[in-house]
Structures are given as C-alpha cells and as structure tokens.
Structure 1
Amino acid sequence: MLRRTTVDTEQVPAADRFEMWLDAVARAAAPLRIHSEHAHDFAARVEIVELGPIRVINYRYPSLEGVRTPKLARESAPEIYTLALTIDGDGAASQAGRSSVLGPKELIFYDGSRPHGVRHLGDDDGREPARSVVAIIPHAALPLPPDRLAPLFVGRMSGTEGIGALLTQFLLQIARHPEQYHAGDAARLGAVGLDLASTMLGRHLAAEDAVPNEVRRRALVTQVRAYIQRHLGDATLSPQVVADAHHVSLRTLHRLFEAEESTVASYIRELRLARCRHDLADPGLRGQPVQAIGARWGFPDKAHFSRVFRKAHGVGPQAWRAGQPEEAAREVNPVASTVNPAEAD
C-alpha cells in the first residue's frame, strides 16, 4: 500500500485542534498564518500520500484564510510549487499582485515557497467543510524553468477538459484510494503525475515546446490508455479509432507505444481479456452467459471471443469459468490504469 499519513484533529480536545492543524499544514507543505472563525473547534482532516518526487494531500477543513507572509517565506523556503484542486466550496488565491477566485473542479497553480494568500469557504456560508486535493511539486522536479512558469501563478485552469481532466482524475484516484496501489508503485505514479502536470502547464503557457518530448510522449500515452479504458466495450475500438480520437496518424500512435510493454492492439486485447476474466470469476455473474460477458467487453462474436480467449489461456472461456474458485473474483487487474476510466471524461 502507498505510504499515507493521516492527521485528524477530532482525535484531540477541541481546544487543541487548531494548533494541531497549523502544525500539520506546516509539515505537509509550508508554514502559513491561518485565520478561521472556527478556530475554537477546528474539525479537520488531512491525508498525505508520498509519490516519489511529489506529494498528494487530501484536505477537509472548515472555512479559513491563510497567508504566507514575507517573513515566513524568508524563514522557511522549501522550494515547492503548489497545484491545488478545489473539490467542495469556493476558493481564492493571490500572489505577486494577481488573484483568482475558483470553484469546484478548478485547478490553481502557484509558488508555495513565496509569499501568497489563500482563502477557502465551505458550502452554506462556511458551515460545511471545504475540500481540496493538492499536489506539492519540488521546483527541481518540473522540467519547466521557473521564469517561464511565473505567468501561470494563481491562474485558473479547468479540471474538466483535456489534460486538466485527466490530471484531476489522477489526483482524486490517488487521494481517495491509495490502498489500491503497492508501495513499489509510488515512484512510477509520481512520474505519471509530473508528466500530466508538466503537459497541462506547458499547454496553458502556449509553449508546449518548453516541455521535453519524452514528458509529452508519456502524458499522451496516459491519455490514450484512459481513452481505451473508457471505450473498451465498443467493438469498433481499434488503433485507427484511437489515433483519430487523438488527432494523430496511425503511424504516430504506433511510434508512441514503441517504448511501452505492448502495442496498442495488444493493450486493447489484454485489457478486454482481463475484464472478461474478472467477470467470469465473479460469483454474482454466474447466471450471465459467457457470450454476454464477451460482448460487454468488445467481443460480440462468440466464436472469435472463444478463439482469442483460448489462445491466451489454453482453454475456452466456459471451461476457464468452471475451474475458478470464488476468491478469483478478487483478482487484481494487472493492466488497470491509474486513472478511473469511469470518471476520466
């Protein structure tokens, strides 16, 4: 399981909760001077997940205002960027004379080491908690020079379109379900998050050339994989369809996957077979015909499904199902994406 640190202020007396929160924020990101009308009983929770080069933080807290003053910036300069996603409530941030107001599913990016201000109001005029997911990224980890990034500070970015949507779902999946991943996955997952963030920032700069080719390639591979998972049940899904959906040639798509462990076609086939195996082993689906399960995952032709399955596993799908114990339904999908395909639109 990924390493997760949790701080829940409701585990201590009300009088100690706000101080506990200030300390948690300082250790998770950087010290802030925080004001809240709920300081007398600050019921809040923070979960910190370490992903190699980056840190993903899942926050829930009452309405508050925070300022990183010049004095605090001089005393501690952790050299970090902050990429914050608002989940519930309304947020705002300011830095270097610029400010933005943002709502749910919007991203904001700023230099967490320099002076800045943040405000987050929960629903119902602050009575309900605010929620956000934040990625803490070291300056040295982004392949973009700081002076190029400055125009993006406290600028709003959509978390529902394009790369921003994919990054949003990545952050939400990691923040909400870190138990689904092994500790050994942390560095690779961190690299995926960095690639997505770098590509999104590069596009907002209208200077994609500033993003290294390999970073853009890996980000596009992640985008293609998420697209395939969303459309896996479509029997017409093919490498050409995938290429057209991403406005690249079929040859470019194949080159894109040259550094991967499988071709586009084999990735689609292996993922479909993995989903079929899962459903065939599920006791709750024993009443469903094998043909219906195959059709659900892109194999509408019964004979073709049987041939492909037999070639991969040595037996047909019916015989494979008959030989599976009930606990096989809990099989971990070896080719699952880090992004929940049902939410990646």
Structure 2
Amino acid sequence: MAYVYFDSSALPPEDRFDWWCETVNRGVAPTRNASSHAAEFTGSFASLTMGPVQTSTLAFPPIRSQRTTELIRQSDPETYELTLVLSGQMWVSQAREDVRATVGEFLMWSSSLPYVGRAVSGSPMDAPRAVIVHLPRALLPLPHAKIDHLLVRNLPAADGMGVVLARHLCSIMDQGPTLTEQDCRALGPATLDLATAFLARRLGLLDRVQPESRTRVLLARIDHFIDANLTDQTLSPSDIAAHHHISVRTLHALFRQRERTVSATIRHRRLEGARAALSNPRLRTLPIRAIAAQWGFTDATLFSRTFRVAYGITPQDHRHGVALPADGRPSAS
C-alpha cells in the first residue's frame, strides 16, 4: 500500500513509546529517542510512498531524538529531511549549527550526518506535529554543496514557493487514504519538483531546474492562486495570467495537458467548495443563495442548474441528504 497509518492509542500504555520509536525508526531512519512522557505516550505516524519520494506526518508528545555516527553506519537512506512544523516547536543541531522552527516554518537536516533534535509543545493543547518530505540526495538536480548551506536553517513558508509546497504536502497527506497507486506515481515527480524549486529559489538556482519541472511548479502556483481567489466573483483567466506574468494564450496552453480548461477548473472548484459547504451541518441555516454567492455564483438559478448538471442532484436535495438512484429520480436516503 502507498499510504499507511499507525496510532499508538490502540496499544497498552506501557508498550506505546517503544512501538512508536520502532515504527518511526523503520519508516524514516534509526534514531535514539527519549521522552518524559514515555509512560503515557500517545503518538501517530502516517507515511505516503510516491515512487522514490516519501512523505510522513508525525504527531507526538515532547521528545528528544539523536542520530549518531554508529546509527548512520547501520542504516542511511541518504535523504534530506525537509520538515514543515504544523504545531509545537522543533530544535535541531547538526554540523555545529542550531535552529529552532515554529509553526509554519520549514527546516531541513541530512540523514547522513549526526544530529540532535528536540520537539516541545507550544501549550498543553498544542502537541508537536510535523510533515516531512524525505528527499533522496541522488534525485535532487542541485549541487549538494549548495543544498548543504540550507541545512539547519529557518526556511519560511509564509509566501511564494513556501506556501505552495506547504499546501501541497498537507493536501497529499490529508488525501493519502484515498490515493491510488497510479495517483502516487504521478504525485511523486510533482512533489520532488516543488521541493526542488523551493530549495532552488532559496539558493538562487532556479535556472538549474529542468524546463518540464518549472512548468509543473508554475501550474502548482497557478492552482494555489485559483484556490485562494475562488470567492472573487470576477476571477478570470486574464487575472490569473497577469498575476503570473504570462499571456492568456500561454495559460490556456498550460491547461491543455489537463482534463479541464482554465474556466472549467474555476467553475469545478467553486462547485466543490459549495457542495462541501452545503454538507456542513454548521452551515445548515445559511441560505443556499448565500453559499452560492460565497463561492462566486451571483445568480442562484444558474448555480442550481450548474450544480444539477455536475452532480445529478439539486443543491437543496444535496443539503438534505437526498440520494440519486439508478433511475435518476431523487428519493430520501
């Protein structure tokens, strides 16, 4: 299976910490771990394999980890561990450098060098959690000596390529249980391209990235821009092209390799957002026309017709959980 998920809560309390250490060591790289919460340890580990690229999500109480020269000799995947902090704080010391990363920041270390890591909670309700993309050194088309300059450094994800990569990693891990093997084979190169572009931009080496990789990165940036502006009723292909400093013709050419045109992509994502909102119990009292307007549909009648064409059911029936059977006539489920 491409996606696996483990949770220590199913085990007896006295076995959880040892189990978690063994699972992470096997799934990432061998380390020595210690925690003041070992007796009441609760942690989870998810892994998504996409060809040669793997991503992991870890959640755990405060912990200290150490990777020694001896452990490296025993097993070394030869990866750069590019890590996004989702909650809590993380400290890493490697090659005489130290860094502290907080929520929304990337940091990176090498599996081939000794390091000491520590994760702490920002508050009692804010247990450490992170998503890691394990980047094989051999696959990165950048000089390793240059990449090493980024080890144990704060790499912000507040804007630009950092935001795109962070959203991508969180999205694929959220959708991991639903992804097929074919999906993962396609996502592996895309994930490697985005991570490479993120590092290359930090190093001023974007010209080293292959043209096809730059195209995939540009499409990822466009996707992020579309998603961030779906509620803008005036969003158009010309707006998207202008924001990314390309012509409208180039934008349409980029989308020819996809299932939907630019305009169809905007419409589809708006419909998906509206459909999710209609299914949300907390929004049950919000009028359908208000939800439609929030997702860029100013004409309630047109929204209802478009929704029916796309999903075979009216927005009202969808909200009330009416199923559409094989004969095409809605009936209460």
Q: Identify whether the pair has TM-score above 0.5, normalized to the shorter chain.
A: yes
Whole-angstrom CA distance in 2 between matches of 1:301 and 1:43: 49
Deviations, residues 217-246 of structure 1 (Å, cap 9, x unaligned): 112212212221232232211111112222
Whole-angstrom CA distance in 1 between matches of 2:292 and 2:270: 8
Contact 2:3–2:49 (8 Å) recurs in 1: yes
- In structure 2, relative to structure 1, the CA distance for the partners of 1:306 and 1:49 (3 Å cut) is closer
Contact 2:72–2:111 (8 Å) recurs in 1: no
Q: In the TM superposition, what is the alpha-carbon distance from 1:258 to its structure 2 partner?
A: 3.9
Deviations, residues 293-344 of structure 1 (Å, cap 9, x unaligned): 65444343578x489949x949xx999669988235xxxxxxxxxxxxxxxx
Whole-angstrom CA distance in 2 between matches of 1:85 and 1:202: 17
What runs of 5+ residues in structure 1 fail to find an aligned partner?
329-345
Instruction: Pick one of 203, 225, 228 that aligns with 2:201.
Output: 203
Aligned to 1:326: 322
- In structure 2, relative to structure 1, the CA distance for the partners of 1:285 and 1:183 (3 Å cut) is farther
Q: In the TM superposition, what is the alpha-carbon distance from 1:36 to its structure 2 partner?
A: 2.5
What runs of 5+ residues in structure 2 fail to find an aligned partner?
325-333
- In structure 2, relative to structure 1, the CA distance for the partners of 1:313 and 1:130 (3 Å cut) is closer
The count of aligned residue pairs is 321
- In structure 2, relative to structure 1, the CA distance for the partners of 1:22 and 1:239 (3 Å cut) is same
Alignment of 1:14-29 (within 5 A): 14=14, 16-29=15-28
Aligned to 1:336: none
- In structure 2, relative to structure 1, the CA distance for the partners of 1:154 and 1:278 (3 Å cut) is closer
**93-102 vs 279-288, which moves further:** 279-288
Instruction: Pick one of 221, 231, 244 that aligns with 2:229.
Output: 231
Aligned to 1:146: 144
**156-165 vs 253-262, which moves further:** 253-262
Whole-angstrom CA distance in 2 between matches of 1:141 and 1:182: 23
Aligned to 2:168: 170
Aligned to 1:131: 129
Is 1:44 the counterpart of 2:43 in the alignment? yes
Q: In the TM superposition, what is the alpha-carbon distance from 1:41 to its structure 2 partner?
A: 4.0
Aligned to 2:11: 11
Q: In the TM superposition, what is the alpha-carbon distance from 1:7 to its structure 2 partner?
A: 4.1
Deviations, residues 29-72 of structure 1 (Å, cap 9, x unaligned): 11112232333443322222323332222212222221211121
Is 1:185 the counterpart of 2:183 in the alignment? yes
Q: In the TM superposition, what is the alpha-carbon distance from 1:128 to its structure 2 partner?
A: 6.1
**278-287 vs 259-268, which moves further:** 278-287
**21-30 vs 185-194, which moves further:** 185-194
Higher relative contact order (Cα pairs below 8 Å, separated by 6+ residues): 1
Deviations, residues 61-90 of structure 1 (Å, cap 9, x unaligned): 222221211121122121222111112222
Aligned to 2:331: none
- In structure 2, relative to structure 1, the CA distance for the partners of 1:309 and 1:25 (3 Å cut) is closer
* CA RMSD between the two structures: 3.6
Q: In the TM superposition, what is the alpha-carbon distance from 1:208 to its structure 2 partner?
A: 0.7
Contact 1:3–1:183 (8 Å) recurs in 2: no
For the residue of structure 1 that corresponds to 2:55, the secondary structure is strand
Q: Percent identity?
A: 31
**49-58 vs 152-161, which moves further:** 49-58
Whole-angstrom CA distance in 2 between matches of 1:64 and 1:307: 52
TM-score (norm 1): 0.78
Q: In the TM superposition, what is the alpha-carbon distance from 1:164 to its structure 2 partner?
A: 1.1
- In structure 2, relative to structure 1, the CA distance for the partners of 1:216 and 1:323 (3 Å cut) is same
TM-score (norm 2): 0.80
- 1:231 maps to amino acid: N
**218-227 vs 253-262, which moves further:** 253-262
Whole-angstrom CA distance in 2 between matches of 1:320 and 1:62: 46
- 2:21 maps to amino acid: L
- In structure 2, relative to structure 1, the CA distance for the partners of 1:263 and 1:308 (3 Å cut) is farther
